Amino acid sequence: MRYNGEYYEGRHEPIITKKLFDDVQEVMKQKSKPQKPDKMKFFLYRGLFRCGECSYAITADRKIKKSGKQYTYYYCTKKNPNHKCSQNVFTREEKILSQINEVLQKVSLSNDWADWMIKKLEREKEEKVQSSRFFAQKIESEIKEIDEKLEKLMTAYLENALSLE
């Protein structure tokens, strides 16, 4: 424990074990290490797909055409030591995107269904608003009634028609 700039042996029960403390320090040290520059380059689909032939990771790179336009390509890392992968294909990111869209189309909701669901939700919301409005009106009229009773009592009291009790 540090107190007034000096360290003293603590006599309290530690909240966490020394081992856990040391482990956490180690993890934090690892995390604060700078990453290799290559790992910081961002590719949308890197790490998402594996090669259909050798099942090893698909990686990506960027190329700049003569026109100055940049393209992102994906290709097999071919790092499987037990299989000499024959894939020499570089696939453009746009092509992958259109294939993903095709798959998503098959499982996505049709517009008709989506419209129907949205309308149903809107109706439910409207009903809820109606019922809380009705509830509020009921309470308001109750309050008004009680106020009127109070007023009558007060008048009767002030005119000495009622004792304080």
What is the per-residue binding string for Zn ion in 102-141, x denoting contact by CB under 5 A? ----------------------------------------
Q: How far is the CB of 65 from Zn ion (least distance, A)?
A: 25
Size of the site for Zn ion (CB under 5 A): 6
Select the residue interacting with Zn ion from 46, 59, 73, 85 (CB under 5 A).
85
Span near Zn ion by CB under 5 A; candidates 36-44, 54-62, 88-96, 119-127: 54-62
Q: What's the CA gap between 153 and 158, in Å, rounded?
A: 9
Select the residue interacting with Zn ion from 60, 72, 74, 76 (CB under 5 A).
76
For Zn ion, the closer CB: 85 or 90:
85
Q: What's the CA gap between 55 and 18, in Å, rounded?
A: 43
For Zn ion, the closer CB: 43 or 56:
56
Q: Is 87 in the site for Zn ion (CB under 5 A)?
A: yes
Instruction: Map tokens 């909240």 to a residue.
Output: 15
Q: Is 54 in the site for Zn ion (CB under 5 A)?
A: yes
- Give the contacts of 73 (CB within 8 A, at least 6 positions apart): 60, 61, 62, 63, 90, 91, 92, 93
Q: What's the CA gap between 150 and 65, in Å, rounded?
A: 86
Could you tell me which of 17, 29, 76 has the C-alpha nearest to residue 52?
76
- Which stretches within 17-160 are classed as H helix? 18-32, 37-40, 93-107, 111-158
Span near Zn ion by CB under 5 A; candidates 6-14, 39-47, 53-61, 102-110: 53-61
Interface residues with Zn ion (CB under 5 A)?
51, 53-54, 76, 85, 87
